[in-house]
């Protein structure tokens, strides 16, 4: 058995460490996006900014919702709501692996004492029409980070290529704090993770699996789809349109968790969200920030 | 002679791609150098987590001079032709030579190219080779450049005879430097020659050769197991993979908690292997899985690996908790209760759900069981349950445990042991080195599963093509062939395949009805909830207007089975198939004759091809398989193989070889004369018109052989049939030595041709000798 490490960082210290580390690397420290989404990749600061020629460097925490991962607060590490720490660097710096390893060191994991490896794991998001090549990073056999070189977003080739680094914060914290049950994590010196989130997991699991009104959700999906398409005709507004795409995606995830979408329908729904994402990405590239007309400098 | 050293240093290369990349690099370099006239003493490529290395020994410092003579137009050819030749060769007219040929004087261009210095040639070909290297998956990373590599490329080291070979690829200039281990070395390493390079890398904790890394791991695990009184469970695939994940492999051993040790060993082993890439260990005396695992790290650490082992044990605990959870949950529901759930899983869009698949496998398994003397009820029961484990948590997590888990759950449900074993073994053989099932119940289910796979996918047009076999139909066929041959099963392939295709055909037709403008939607609905059905009314029996027929919902009047029967009745109409042929193009082969047609035109040739592949290793000649197959009507593989083997043995004898030569001669003569006369010579031999002894001998011998070959074949005594043929050799040889077939007397000529046709017919009872080579 491993010993509890002295002075292991609390959950929030981990976040603060990453914020400071990536700020020092010149990243914008952004805040979470205020829409419900399945992963940090959905944040427009990743999806849209990964496109086009304009350089981009940003880091942020993104609450991520995976309705079907709900376990009523009983599973040691599965959560329907958890935090990702997302770093997006465009173009990918030549030394991006070293930069990443620097962050691991900053978190208190000394590469000289551990076995850190980059193991093939390509990434794909069918709903975003996005794909990339990369690795999952292992620390002593534990996957602590997903590392991806974006090749395509919204069906559009990325050039320059962005590097995306995604830390699963709870999992990382469990590792650093040597904790087996996610709710036992020290959020700070006083509070445990369970005090903050256990009730959320119980209630939202019930919502996701039992109570979410599927009729309303189907309507949400249709409404979002309609509004999204509408915002991309005439005078195009890709940012508000993309919000609708995010909403449609989340409605789909909830419907999926409720088990009302069959296997064949599933593919069709994913295709519909992808079509929205694709249209938003294309429209984004026509905007000043998308195509890099130097308006702001 | 000088050596080339090339290293391509990148971010981590996926383990599964390394060996292939090394092979491709070697192959492409050999090709590029050979194209330029180079010979060299040796070449070797290495691959590891962060680098591809190539060393070529004994490469000449200078390319060979090339002298080439090109033949041009005639001296008196039109000016334009001569101009064209000059342009092509880059010479002037006075540089051309002339040469006298049978067609007159022609121009000859002599082109001499001085061999270039090798470094220049290398600088040209290496970037080309790199651009061509076929990674299974590659990426762009340089802004504005289309160049691809498996992951970002960082540096290129390239020397020839210890000197830098300057070139660039992806904006990276070649140099003399590389890097050592990511964590166990510091700074750049300079290397100019291979020995130096390899030595310095080793000092920097990089072992270049994947085979050496694999050997270190193998020995390390073996040793670590041995000192604990255990042994490693060999796993070649895993060994190769972990050898690609570490530049400096170090083996550590961790413990599995006792609470997991009553989970089936297969689950533990699969979980450790797929998720964590650990080796499982076992007790050499009992063969039981041990509560220890071996992991391969890429690190030497100060604490002797305490942190690393502890970390890995924690990860494993979480992994095995998940697996144990699934195992416990899965056993709360019986396999039988899970079969229903297969209705919700699509097997293939055109073939329906897994449930439908199971129904069909069950029927086939029953049929096979009956023929091979297996317990029919047990075979059907096993077939019914054989896919139920697809809905379990463990199989959801580890698809490779399908079947294995089915057996565990079946035993837990107190199913019969033979049924449980058949559930596990029906996927066998899973590869050329996997054993085939030998228990009769398992054989029935395994064969049924494969026959359905083959016939089903053929029927819906998903047969394997040159470029791919997405549904593993070839593998299924090889499996079926091995099951039949190794168990010596006497079965008619035709009957099995037709049973399978008939079921599929019913399904596809139903689909077509549903696709058609028949209000078919309601049919799907009914089928799904299985409540009631409506009749299909076909106005005035005119199939031409079937498209406008109505499916009327008649509450509870017709149960589904009856509706399907109605559909079946309509299907018996002779023009039903034609109607659908018109209706939709993809309908082509779906008429009532489809199963028989498909077998003759599609499945039989396919099985014949697969059989050739299957028997190739045994040294069985493919042309003999053709020769027996093309007799037609042979769909019993065991008998077919026996006949082929007897034939092959016979052809190896003197008699066989000579008889074959005689046959060829006879067949050639017949072919020529049949063409000349525009008729065949199948008539009876006129015994009075046999003037020579050789004529009479051959006729008599043929009479004896034909009389004896038939009964021998019937008894399947192929050796005896061959002996009868052997007896023909002397009279055949004698015949050709003594007589002239094309005698001047037309009646005699015709009679002798009748004799030869008789010989051909006699031999064709055994095999189609025209297909035999040599």
DSSP output for B523-582: HHHHHHH---B--EE-GGG-GGGGGG-EE---TTTB-HHHHHHHHHHHHTSTTHHHHHHH
Query: Of the candidates B566, B593, B563, which has an alpha carbon nearest to the alpha carbon of residue B580?
Result: B593
pLDDT-derived band of residue A170, with 50, 70 and 90 as boundaries? Answer: very high
pLDDT of residue B511: 52
Distance from C-alpha of B453 to C-alpha of B119, rounded to nearest angstrom:
56
Distance from C-alpha of B469 to C-alpha of B611, rounded to nearest angstrom:
17
Q: Which of B15, B141, B307 sits opposite A113 (nearest CB)?
A: B307
**Phi, psi at B296, each rounded to 5°:** -115, 115
pLDDT-derived band of residue B26, with 50, 70 and 90 as boundaries? Answer: very high
Is pTM beyond 0.90? Reply is: no
pLDDT-derived band of residue B193, with 50, 70 and 90 as boundaries? Answer: very high
**Candidate from A184-188, A201-205, B359-363, B721-725 with smallest mean pLDDT:** B721-725
CA dist list (Å): B131 to B25, B35, B118, B206, B446? 11, 17, 20, 26, 46
Is some CB atom of chain B closer than 8 A to the CB atom of A32? no
For tokens 């599963």, name the residue.
B449
- Name every residue whose Cβ is closer than 8 Å to that of residue B558 and which is 6 or more positions away in sequence: B532, B533, B534, B535, B566
Is some CB atom of chain B closer than 8 A to the CB atom of A4? no
pLDDT-derived band of residue B672, with 50, 70 and 90 as boundaries? Answer: confident
Residue B573 scores a pLDDT above 70 = no
Mutation for testing the A interface, residue in B48, B307, B321 having most A CBs under 10 Å: B307
pLDDT of residue B531: 29
Tell me the angle at which helices B236-243 and B15-35 cross, rounded to the nearest 10 degrees: 70
For tokens 């888990």, name the residue.
B405
Distance from C-alpha of B3 to C-alpha of B14, rounded to nearest angstrom:
29
- In terms of CA atoms, which chain A residue is nearest residue B184? A112
Residue contacts between A and B (CB atoms, under 8 Å): 103
Distance from CA of B154 to the nearest CA of A (A): 8
- Name every residue whose Cβ is closer than 8 Å to that of residue B323 and which is 6 or more positions away in sequence: B260, B263, B267, B268, B271, B394, B397, B398
pLDDT in tens, B674-719: 888 888 888 788 888 888 888 888 888 888 888 888 889 889 999 8
Q: Which of A97, A161, A178 sits opposite B141 (nearest CB)?
A: A161
DSSP H stretches of helix in B715-745: 718-726, 729-738
CA-only gyration radius of chain A, Å: 20
**Pairwise CB contact (< 8 Å): A141 & B298:** no
pLDDT of residue B594: 59
Average confidence (pLDDT) over B9-21: 97
Chain B residues in contact with A120 by the CB 8 A cut-off are 12, 14-16
**Pairwise CB contact (< 8 Å): B301 & A135:** no
Identify the top-confidence range among A81-90, A104-113, B71-80. A81-90
Which of left, alpha, beta for B229 (phi over 0: left; psi -120 to 50: alpha)? left
Is some CB atom of chain A closer than 8 A to the CB atom of B314? yes
| Widest pairwise Cα distance in chain A | 63
pLDDT of residue B584: 33
Mutation for testing the B interface, residue in A90, A131, A141 having most B CBs under 10 Å: A141
Residue B172 scores a pLDDT above 90 = yes
pLDDT in tens, A186-240: 999 999 999 999 999 999 999 999 999 999 999 999 999 999 999 999 999 999 9
- In terms of CA atoms, which chain A residue is nearest residue B154? A94
- In terms of CA atoms, which chain A residue is nearest residue B148? A151
Q: Which of A115, A132, A135 sits opposite B298 (nearest CB)?
A: A115
Tell me the angle at which helices B473-486 and B440-459 cross, rounded to the nearest 10 degrees: 150
The Cβ of residue A152 has, within 10 Å, a number of other Cβ atoms equal to: 19
Is some CB atom of chain A closer than 8 A to the CB atom of B307? yes
Chain B residues in contact with A115 by the CB 8 A cut-off are 297-299, 301, 308, 311
Q: Which of A76, A135, A161 sits opposite B140 (nearest CB)?
A: A161
**Candidate from A190-204, B254-268, B425-439, B530-544 with smallest mean pLDDT:** B530-544
pLDDT-derived band of residue A263, with 50, 70 and 90 as boundaries? Answer: low
Is B293:B313 a contact under the CB 8 Å cutoff? no
**Pairwise CB contact (< 8 Å): A112 & B183:** yes
Is some CB atom of chain B closer than 8 A to the CB atom of A150? no
Average confidence (pLDDT) over B87-108: 85
N residues, chain B: 774
**Percent share of chain B, pLDDT over 70:** 88
Distance from CA of B140 to the nearest CA of A (A): 7
The residues in B 666-685 lying below 8 A from A, measured between CB atoms, are none
ipTM above 0.85, yes or no: yes
**Pairwise CB contact (< 8 Å): A2 & B314:** yes
Chain B residues in contact with A136 by the CB 8 A cut-off are none
Tokens of A143: 């996957």
Q: Which of B246, B311, B321 sits opposite A139 (nearest CB)?
A: B311
Is some CB atom of chain A closer than 8 A to the CB atom of B219? no
**Phi, psi at B24, each rounded to 5°:** -65, -40
**Percent share of chain B, pLDDT over 90:** 48
Average confidence (pLDDT) over B170-177: 97
Q: Which of A76, A135, A157 sits opposite B321 (nearest CB)?
A: A76
Query: Of the candidates B344, B349, B327, which has an alpha carbon nearest to the alpha carbon of residue B394?
Result: B327
Is some CB atom of chain A closer than 8 A to the CB atom of B18? no
pLDDT of residue A6: 53
Distance from C-alpha of B670 to C-alpha of A133, rounded to nearest angstrom:
66
| Widest pairwise Cα distance in chain B | 104
pLDDT-derived band of residue A292, with 50, 70 and 90 as boundaries? Answer: low
pLDDT of residue B557: 34
pLDDT in tens, A26-68: 999 999 999 999 999 999 999 999 999 999 999 999 999 999 9
| DSSP-assigned letters across all residues of B669-720 | HHHHHHHHHTS---S---GGG--SHHHHHHHHHHHHHHHHHHHHHHTT-HHH
CA dist list (Å): B440 to B487, B490, B675? 9, 13, 54
Average pLDDT score over chain B: 85
Helices and strands counted in chain B (H then E): 29, 22
Average confidence (pLDDT) over B395-402: 90
Mutation for testing the A interface, residue in B16, B51, B152 having most A CBs under 10 Å: B152
Tokens of B112: 């001499």
Average confidence (pLDDT) over B465-486: 88
Distance from CA of B517 to the nearest CA of A (A): 22
Distance from C-alpha of B454 to C-alpha of B473, rounded to nearest angstrom:
5
| DSSP-assigned letters across all residues of A99-130 | HHHHHHHHTT--TTTS-EEEEE--EEETTTTE
pLDDT of residue B520: 33
Chain B residues in contact with A175 by the CB 8 A cut-off are 311, 314
Average confidence (pLDDT) over A103-114: 92
Q: Which of B138, B311, B321 sits opposite A141 (nearest CB)?
A: B311
Is some CB atom of chain B closer than 8 A to the CB atom of A233? no
Distance from C-alpha of B763 to C-alpha of B661, rounded to nearest angstrom:
12
Distance from C-alpha of B135 to C-alpha of B139, rounded to nearest angstrom:
9
Torsion of CA B297, B298, B303, B307, to 10 degrees: -50
**Pairwise CB contact (< 8 Å): B139 & A117:** no
pLDDT of residue B506: 62
**Pairwise CB contact (< 8 Å): B183 & A263:** no
Mutation for testing the B interface, residue in A71, A92, A114, A115 having most B CBs under 10 Å: A115
pLDDT of residue B505: 67
pLDDT of residue B631: 81
For tokens 């952004």, name the residue.
A30
Average confidence (pLDDT) over A129-148: 95
Is A88:A164 a contact under the CB 8 Å cutoff? yes
Residue B528 scores a pLDDT above 80 = no
Is some CB atom of chain A closer than 8 A to the CB atom of B256? no
pLDDT in tens, B261-293: 999 999 999 999 998 999 999 999 999 999 999
Select the more confidently predicted residue: B112 or B41: B41
- Name every residue whose Cβ is closer than 8 Å to that of residue B516 and which is 6 or more positions away in sequence: B546, B547, B583
């Amino acid at each position: 058995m491993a010993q509890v490490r002295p002075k292991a960082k609390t959950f929030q210290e981990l976040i603060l460490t990453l914020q400071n580390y990536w700020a020092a690397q010149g990243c914008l420290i952004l805040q979470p996006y205020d829409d419900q989404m399945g992963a940090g990749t959905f944040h427009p600061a990743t999806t849209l900014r990964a496109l086009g020629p304009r350089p981009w460097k940003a880091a942020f925490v993104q609450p991520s919702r995976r309705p079907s991962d709900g376990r009523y607060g009983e599973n040691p590490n599965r959560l329907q709501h958890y935090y990702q720490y997302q770093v997006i660097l465009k173009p990918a710096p030549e030394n991006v692996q070293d930069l990443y390893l620097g962050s691991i060191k900053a978190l208190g994991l000394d590469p000289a004492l551990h076995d850190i490896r980059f193991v093939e794991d390509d990434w794909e998001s069918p709903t975003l029409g996005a794909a990339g090549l990369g690795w999952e990073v292992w620390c002593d056999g534990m996957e602590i980070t997903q590392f991806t070189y974006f090749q395509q977003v919204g069906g559009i080739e990325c050039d320059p290529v962005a590097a995306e680094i995604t830390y699963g914060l709870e999992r990382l914290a469990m590792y650093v704090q040597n904790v087996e049950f996610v709710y036992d994590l020290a959020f700070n010196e006083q509070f445990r993770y369970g005090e903050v989130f256990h009730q959320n997991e119980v209630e939202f699991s019930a919502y996701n699996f039992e109570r979410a009104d599927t009729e309303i959700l189907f309507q949400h999906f249709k409404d979002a789809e309609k509004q999204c398409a509408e915002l991309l005709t005439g005078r195009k507004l890709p940012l508000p349109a993309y919000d609708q795409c995010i909403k449609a995606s989340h409605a789909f995830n909830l419907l999926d968790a409720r088990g009302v979408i069959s296997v064949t329908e599933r593919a069709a729904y994913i295709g519909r969200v992808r079509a929205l994402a694709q249209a938003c990405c294309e429209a984004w590239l026509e905007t000043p920030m998308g195509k890099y007309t130097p308006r702001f400098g | 002679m000088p050596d080339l050293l090339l290293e391509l240093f990148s971010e981590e290369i996926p383990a599964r791609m390394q060996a292939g990349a090394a092979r491709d690099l070697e192959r492409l370099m050999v090709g590029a150098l050979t194209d330029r006239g180079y010979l060299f003493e040796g070449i070797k490529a290495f691959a590891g987590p962060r680098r591809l290395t190539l060393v070529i020994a004994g490469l000449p410092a200078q390319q060979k001079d090339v002298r080439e003579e090109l033949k041009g137009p005639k001296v008196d050819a039109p000016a334009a032709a001569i101009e064209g030749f000059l342009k092509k060769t880059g010479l002037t007219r006075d540089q051309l030579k002339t040469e006298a040929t049978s067609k007159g004087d022609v121009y000859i261009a002599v082109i001499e190219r001085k061999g270039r210095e090798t470094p220049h040639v290398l600088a040209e070909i290496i970037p080309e080779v790199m651009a061509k290297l076929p990674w299974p998956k590659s990426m762009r990373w340089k802004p504005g450049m289309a160049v691809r590599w498996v992951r970002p490329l960082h540096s290129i080291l390239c020397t020839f005879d210890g000197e830098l070979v300057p070139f660039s690829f992806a904006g990276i200039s070649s140099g003399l430097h590389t890097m050592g281990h990511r964590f166990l070395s510091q700074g750049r390493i300079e290397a100019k020659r291979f020995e130096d390079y390899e030595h310095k890398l080793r000092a920097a904790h990089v072992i270049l050769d994947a085979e050496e890394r694999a050997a270190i791991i193998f020995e390390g695990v073996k040793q670590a197991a041995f000192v604990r009184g255990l042994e490693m469970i060999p796993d070649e695939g895993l060994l190769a993979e972990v050898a690609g994940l570490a530049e400096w492999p170090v083996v550590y051993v961790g413990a599995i908690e006792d609470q997991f040790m009553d989970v089936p060993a297969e689950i533990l082993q699969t979980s450790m292997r797929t998720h964590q890439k650990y080796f499982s260990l076992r007790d050499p005396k009992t063969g039981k899985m041990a509560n220890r695992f071996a992991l391969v790290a890429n690190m030497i650490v100060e604490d002797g690996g305490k942190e690393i082992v502890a970390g890995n044990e924690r990860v494993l605990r979480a992994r095995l908790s998940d697996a144990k959870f699934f195992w416990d949950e899965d056993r709360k529901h019986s396999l039988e209760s899970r079969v229903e759930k297969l209705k919700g899983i699509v097997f293939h869009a055109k073939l329906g759900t897994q449930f439908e698949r199971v129904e069909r496998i069950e029927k086939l398994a029953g049929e096979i069981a009956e023929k091979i003397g297996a317990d029919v009820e047990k075979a059907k029961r096993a077939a019914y349950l054989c896919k139920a484990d697809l809905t379990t948590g463990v199989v959801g997590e580890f698809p490779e445990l399908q079947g294995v888990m089915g057996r565990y759950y079946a035993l837990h449900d107190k199913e019969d042991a033979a049924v449980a074993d058949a559930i596990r073994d029906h996927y066998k053989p899973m590869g050329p080195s996997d054993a085939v099932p030998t228990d009769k119940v398992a054989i029935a289910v395994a064969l049924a599963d494969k026959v359905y796979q083959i016939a089903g996918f053929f029927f819906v047009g998903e047969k394997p093509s040159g470029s791919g076999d997405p549904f593993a139909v070839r593998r299924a066929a090889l499996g079926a062939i091995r099951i039949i041959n190794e168990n010596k099963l006497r079965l008619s392939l035709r009957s099995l395949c037709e049973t399978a295709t008939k079921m599929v055909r019913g399904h596809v037709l139903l689909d077509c009805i549903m696709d058609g403008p028949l209000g078919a939607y309601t049919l799907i609905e009914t089928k799904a909830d299985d409540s009631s059905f409506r009749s299909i009314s076909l106005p005035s029996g005119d199939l031409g207007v079937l498209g406008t027929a109505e499916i009327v919902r008649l509450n509870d009047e017709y149960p589904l089975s009856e509706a399907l029967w109605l559909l079946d009745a309509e299907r018996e109409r002779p023009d039903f198939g034609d109607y659908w042929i018109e209706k939709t193009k993809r309908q082509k082969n779906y008429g009532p004759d489809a199963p028989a047609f498909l077998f003759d035109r599609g499945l039989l040739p396919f099985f014949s091809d697969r059989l050739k592949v299957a028997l190739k290793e045994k040294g069985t000649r493919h042309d003999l398989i053709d020769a027996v197959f093309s007799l037609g009507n042979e769909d019993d593989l065991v008998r077919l193989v026996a006949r082929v083997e007897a034939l092959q043995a016979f052809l190896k004898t003197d008699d066989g070889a000579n008889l074959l030569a005689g046959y060829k001669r006879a067949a050639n003569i017949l072919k020529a004369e049949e063409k000349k006369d525009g008729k065949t010579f199948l008539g009876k031999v006129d015994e009075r018109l046999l003037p020579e002894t050789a004529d009479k001998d051959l006729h008599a011998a043929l009479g004896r052989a034909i009389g004896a070959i038939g009964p021998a074949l019937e008894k399947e005594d192929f050796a005896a049939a061959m002996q009868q043929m052997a007896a023909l050799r002397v009279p055949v040889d004698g015949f050709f030595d003594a007589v002239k077939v094309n005698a001047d007397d037309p009646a005699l000529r015709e009679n002798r041709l009748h004799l030869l046709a008789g010989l051909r017919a006699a031999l064709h009872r055994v095999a189609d000798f025209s297909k035999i080579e040599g």
